[in-house]
Structure 1
């Protein structure tokens, strides 16, 4: 919300300077995001009149002007503006004047006596942009004919007036108007509130335009009147234009300007139709499928009807007998817009239910001031009052005669009393309160209330949609009491640093491990789009957790995997020229789970585990002369995980996942004393998804349960052996469909006494007919490390162990010694 200080002080004028006023508003929850003068600092610029403007003898685009600046003598100034002519009044920078810098951070521009093409110039005639009043620099700024010559331009145009830009929270819809801000300032400072006054227009004829409201869940109140004989080309008063400009609105025409002015001042959006372009009665209803409307911004929209569930997808409309003429509460149509030839108008002010406006403008890819207000809530009791105010301004500026107000009250929100306990307010705010203090706060805010022992029962005003529960009233007490007046009291309990859990790995250490493997961390929203969620997880639509109020269509559901965000990150990097990408993310995912009960940190029916996921794309190492360039594969990423999760040991088993390549994906199992625990997945992206994401090659993905991989257990120390370890190699021939892990498991299950480690170090697959091995066989070589901590191992002991290992794999895996 942007406005000028002078406009605000017309309705409430506290004895505070500009800075103190801005601070007071910020401390009461109306954060002043920006505060600055109308124009930047400059000096010695006065109002002057051009007495004559002659062509420069040596330049076609320059004029030599004689100027009266109130100094008692004529000044000669060379000017290149095309509108420089005798008789007009303009801003004149005298010699020695300092103009604002041309760019941010630049130095002020000093005016000196100089020569332009051989002709002396004793000053400068200024455009609006040179004074910091806008971007117009096509000509010098022309001032009204009655502007006093010699007067300082800052004083004449009130350029020291402060512009406030307030950052409003969504619940403060009552402050989207000057009167709303003025009410707040009056309550904060205690200054008297002076509401705008006007004369109620006299009714000159009995004509009413029939309005039929078909849907009460769309429009709760509709007020309108006919005004005939207006002059649409009338000039908008300068004081209204000035206020609009300083509120960030440009002047368009008198009728539009007055409608915008009432919206900014009173908070009630209105609309003016050319009644001669309306065809028959007016109908307020939901849009029908296929209806087309050309809007005031030139955009043509095709409207949609209800979906299969009967829910409206588009906005409501104001329609005549030919079809829609405006999007209800959002924007008017071009068909019935007022123009320079308009003579008769229909002025409407309505209360559109917030639920009928919220999110509707977003579908059309624009937003409007009207929709911004209606979707947050507009005072339904002020509709006729604002209509009368706008009518009086139109009759005063544009002339004409007004008909009676047609007011239909259909579905106004029911306001319920809210109770606030004094003891509860003291506990929440943390300060001692009395009935007197609280009563004074509610009185200043204009709340109707009554006391019930140590509780207050408050009836919220019609313009305060945010007062619904006890905590809302407690917030009002805290705001008006003053956040800066609440004392800083240190906590009573002493703080104690908790010792790190020795058996758990910290998340930051895990992040560091992945970073050391070359992965960069990303942080994505917990939301994703429905199609990606279904493709990546294969869940049914009814199991997807939908967001009730998504911030955008691509964030409509909660994610149950981290891969969707990571793949979007990959796509964004590839689009910007990256050829090798390593990414990981640690965050929560969201899944339905009826077994989850309500408790601190948990929501009944929903499981929210923490996961760590990542992907690798491109070459397995950065391009270099010492290594052949090849694409990263399953085993490269598996190795990255082994190094990142060390000392935890995991195994992989082939498995099927909707998002992964059917033949190149596996489940990850963590080895524990009791067996194996599933902790995640690893594999290449499914070819169908690779095509959907338009990726030249498939990335390798992984996702792990964060809580399981953080649990390291306590280390078990043991004494270093005085005796040497012994290594033996075991080369085994098995069928090609036998996994190396099954051999390792078989050997581990035999539980040989002296075996410390068994590692696979070689794989051999023969070419057809070139070996004693069959075509469907392969050779796997294992290195077995043996150690006896009590004595040196002897050959008979070693041979017995190796024979037992060979016997185990022969029985369980049909292996033979090569």
Structure 2
């Protein structure tokens, strides 16, 4: 909202208060002033001149030599290049020594040998916003009304001696979208009288013309008023009105349109003027649109309506979109002589919904969608008709016709003084509170420490007790309320055990080179079907009743498909390698038709593809495989303190049949690790892709219920023995390690697999597998005989259980 300081001064006496001081007062009172802008932009010594004659320049085809009376006692000789300059015009003349916006200085000079004693200015050269000016004022020099006085200060004539305050209003302060609203606000802040125009209703001298109003959409238009004015003479509005509109950022058009815009800025009540003769039978019907119905608005665009679009019609055709924009078929033109002026209340929800759907916002819709004051609908109409008579030669041709559904609700709010003091934390005198409500012009009664406040309809933002407390606080002065520290019982914040667990997982995976991804919980059903859910095989995708798009139709049951999409995206952008993880919820339901909420479970998934390290001159690039990813998982399990993990080979659909295993913890399946099937990877333009997915629920149960145990570093040396075995090829290494651990006893500290070999002399159906066994005692140094005894027992156990033999 742009507020003219001079215009505001007509309603509130601003004597002794500069624009900067006023801006400070408003900001302290809760109405932030973003900018204080002088309209003159540094203009000095520019006056009204009368062009006496115009002659061609002797040495330049596009220049003209003008003789101008600028009220300086003698005529001035000015060279001008504007094509529209002509004798008899009143124009702005920058005298020698004048200053123009941008630091331009005007001085006496010669142009192509002819002396020029000043400059005839265009609107842009005076700093006027050209985009808001009529086309004829954008090209060439600015031409004043013939009534302008020669020698008059052009800055004053154009309203450039004014200052504009640009307000940054919060959505709840719709009352300040008008000069009246700002006047009430400033009057309260400065405790000064507010003087507002009080136009009386104009009535026709004779029988008058008829206007019939029918409200078929009562919930969206409970109040509608109209009046007819005839004898209209269309033309430019007076300079003072144009100045105020330009200061407010509104483009002057003609006297009729300018009056409706002026009253909207003054009262905050948008109005619209129809050509009465283009409204069939003088009838106004307010109704909702029908499917397929269209309206061509004033901007020449044909807009489709729906059943929620509120329309103004003449009973047979739409003539306006209520609260948004008028129709082209009832537009005021140069042939218009009779107006039907509309002033109405449209529900904010209806206007907001229509403006958003059509993508059409206007000054009127901005005010309607925030809520206008129903008490100003008739006064605004009175004011517009008064100005039509004064500035457009209009004569009232009908009485006001108004239809109202229901009464305007009166709002009364109680404020307890004890509550006020408790919230503000400062003792405010009761008389001071009453005085603040007087300044706000809120009628108030006080009884037993309770203020009964009648809230005027212009302040729809006040409805509860704390709203009144805010009003008292801002007028009392926020700077007078002392700053105090909060008090009360406090408890230190901390992470829950589940949050700590997830943080450890994130930090661990980041430390070993994975990047975290975050995806939508909604995905495509086709994506889910591309990979079988191994961990939760009975889970069915839960469909959304109103999806945003085909790509967001179902809740995910796995994190893997979306990681594949991210990997594909990055590889296509020349990333050599991608290592990702995501920790998030999946949604599990076994029912085809839901009768209860799906189960939400925290899952962890990881993916690696491409290269792990770049190629250097001393080494080849490292690529991931099943075992590198398994090693990353083991680091994670070790960091979490999870024991008893083992792996079993599986062949699920969508995965490589020989490089995939399920992860078990105490015989419970908690996850999957393996390679995506090459055909599936190829559909994503990927090469070898390795993934893991874990159900974090059993992991959390195992970790959160246990206390981390630490043991001291060993004091005594360890003894290492290597063990190379030949076993059947189908015996898993995990089975051998379990037997070694079970037989090794308390001295066996670790078992490390360091070699697997098949073929050659090993024989068909056999494999060689080698382990390094470390023995160590806590209380002494072991002897070779002790270690050899345990080691031989391990060998005997392996021979008996799995038919293992020592490799020769």
Pairwise same-fold verdict (TM > 0.5): yes
Task: Give the one of 349, 356, 361 matched to 1:355.
Answer: 349
Task: Give the one of 295, 298, 322 matched to 2:297.
Answer: 295
Task: Give the one of 404, 407, 417 matched to 1:422.
Answer: 417
1:132 matched to 2:134? The reply is no
User: What are the superposed Cα offsets for residues 713-764 of structure 1, whole Å, 9 maximum, x if unpaired?
Assistant: 767352244414647578898999x999999899889996455566777889
Question: CA separation of 1:541/1:782 partners in 2, compared to 1, >3 Å: closer, same or farther?
Answer: farther
Return the alpha-carbon distance in structure 1 between the equivalents of residues 462 and 81 of structure 2.
59
Q: How does 1:116-265 map to 2 (within 5 A)?
A: 116-135=111-130, 138-204=139-205, 205-231=207-233, 233-265=234-266
Question: CA separation of 1:123/1:394 partners in 2, compared to 1, >3 Å: closer, same or farther?
Answer: closer
Per the TM alignment, residue 798 of structure 1 is displaced from its structure 2 partner at its CA by 6.2
The unaligned stretches of length 5 or more in structure 2 are 132-137, 529-539, 590-595
Match of 2:430 in 1: 435
1:796 matched to 2:788? The reply is yes
The unaligned stretches of length 5 or more in structure 1 are 102-107, 306-313, 547-551, 594-604
Question: CA separation of 1:73/1:289 partners in 2, compared to 1, >3 Å: closer, same or farther?
Answer: same
Question: CA separation of 1:397/1:609 partners in 2, compared to 1, >3 Å: closer, same or farther?
Answer: farther
Question: CA separation of 1:573/1:591 partners in 2, compared to 1, >3 Å: closer, same or farther?
Answer: closer
Match of 1:455 in 2: 450
Match of 1:83 in 2: 84
Asked if the contact 2:184/2:440 (under 8 Å) is kept, the reply is: yes
Asked if the contact 1:588/1:608 (under 8 Å) is kept, the reply is: no
Asked if the contact 1:529/1:557 (under 8 Å) is kept, the reply is: no
Paired residue secondary structure (2:13): coil
Per the TM alignment, residue 404 of structure 1 is displaced from its structure 2 partner at its CA by 1.7
Question: CA separation of 1:725/1:249 partners in 2, compared to 1, >3 Å: closer, same or farther?
Answer: farther
Asked if the contact 1:504/1:713 (under 8 Å) is kept, the reply is: no
Match of 1:394 in 2: 388
Asked if the contact 1:592/1:606 (under 8 Å) is kept, the reply is: no
Asked if the contact 1:503/1:714 (under 8 Å) is kept, the reply is: no
Asked if the contact 1:216/1:411 (under 8 Å) is kept, the reply is: no
Asked if the contact 1:173/1:373 (under 8 Å) is kept, the reply is: yes
Return the alpha-carbon distance in structure 2 between the equivalents of residues 46 and 88 of structure 1.
13
Question: CA separation of 1:796/1:124 partners in 2, compared to 1, >3 Å: closer, same or farther?
Answer: farther
Per the TM alignment, residue 478 of structure 1 is displaced from its structure 2 partner at its CA by 1.0
Question: CA separation of 1:571/1:438 partners in 2, compared to 1, >3 Å: closer, same or farther?
Answer: farther
User: What are the superposed Cα offsets for residues 282-306 of structure 1, whole Å, 9 maximum, x if unpaired?
Assistant: 322222222222222333222233x
Question: CA separation of 1:426/1:332 partners in 2, compared to 1, >3 Å: closer, same or farther?
Answer: same
Return the alpha-carbon distance in structure 1 between the equivalents of residues 439 and 433 of structure 2.
10
1:22 matched to 2:23? The reply is yes
Return the alpha-carbon distance in structure 2 between the equivalents of residues 59 and 699 of structure 1.
81
Return the alpha-carbon distance in structure 2 between the equivalents of residues 653 and 277 of structure 1.
84
Return the alpha-carbon distance in structure 2 between the equivalents of residues 228 and 346 of structure 1.
9
Paired residue secondary structure (2:451): strand
Return the alpha-carbon distance in structure 2 between the equivalents of residues 207 and 717 of structure 1.
102
Per the TM alignment, residue 431 of structure 1 is displaced from its structure 2 partner at its CA by 1.1
Rg larger for: 2
Task: Give the one of 446, 453, 478 matched to 2:473.
Answer: 478
Return the alpha-carbon distance in structure 1 between the equivalents of residues 577 and 356 of structure 2.
35
Match of 1:599 in 2: none
Asked if the contact 1:558/1:589 (under 8 Å) is kept, the reply is: no
Question: CA separation of 1:238/1:735 partners in 2, compared to 1, >3 Å: closer, same or farther?
Answer: farther
User: What are the superposed Cα offsets for residues 560-593 of structure 1, whole Å, 9 maximum, x if unpaired?
Assistant: 99999x99x9799989978689899999999999
Return the alpha-carbon distance in structure 1 between the equivalents of residues 744 and 441 of structure 2.
83
Match of 2:404 in 1: 409
Paired residue secondary structure (2:184): helix
Return the alpha-carbon distance in structure 1 between the equivalents of residues 805 and 328 of structure 2.
87
User: What are the superposed Cα offsets for residues 511-562 of structure 1, whole Å, 9 maximum, x if unpaired?
Assistant: 88787777889999xxx898889999944447x9x9xxxxx999x9999999
Match of 2:134 in 1: none
Match of 1:62 in 2: 63
Per the TM alignment, residue 180 of structure 1 is displaced from its structure 2 partner at its CA by 0.9
Return the alpha-carbon distance in structure 1 between the equivalents of residues 694 and 52 of structure 2.
81
Task: Give the one of 317, 324, 327 matched to 2:318.
Answer: 324
Return the alpha-carbon distance in structure 1 between the equivalents of residues 151 and 581 of structure 2.
67
Higher alpha-carbon deviation: 338-347 or 407-416: 407-416
Paired residue secondary structure (1:317): strand
Asked if the contact 1:730/1:784 (under 8 Å) is kept, the reply is: no
Paired residue secondary structure (2:434): helix
Return the alpha-carbon distance in structure 2 between the equivalents of residues 730 and 264 of structure 1.
94
Return the alpha-carbon distance in structure 2 between the equivalents of residues 561 and 724 of structure 1.
48
Return the alpha-carbon distance in structure 2 between the equivalents of residues 414 and 666 of structure 1.
72
Per the TM alignment, residue 346 of structure 1 is displaced from its structure 2 partner at its CA by 2.1
Q: How does 1:564-713 map to 2 (within 5 A)?
A: 620=611, 647-648=639-640, 663=655
Paired residue secondary structure (1:154): helix
Return the alpha-carbon distance in structure 1 between the equivalents of residues 661 and 7 of structure 2.
68
Task: Give the one of 351, 368, 378 matched to 1:374.
Answer: 368
Return the alpha-carbon distance in structure 1 between the equivalents of residues 681 and 302 of structure 2.
36
Per the TM alignment, residue 327 of structure 1 is displaced from its structure 2 partner at its CA by 2.1
Question: CA separation of 1:397/1:589 partners in 2, compared to 1, >3 Å: closer, same or farther?
Answer: farther
User: What are the superposed Cα offsets for residues 389-426 of structure 1, whole Å, 9 maximum, x if unpaired?
Assistant: 22222233221333121211114564443222111111
Paired residue secondary structure (1:145): coil
Per the TM alignment, residue 191 of structure 1 is displaced from its structure 2 partner at its CA by 0.8
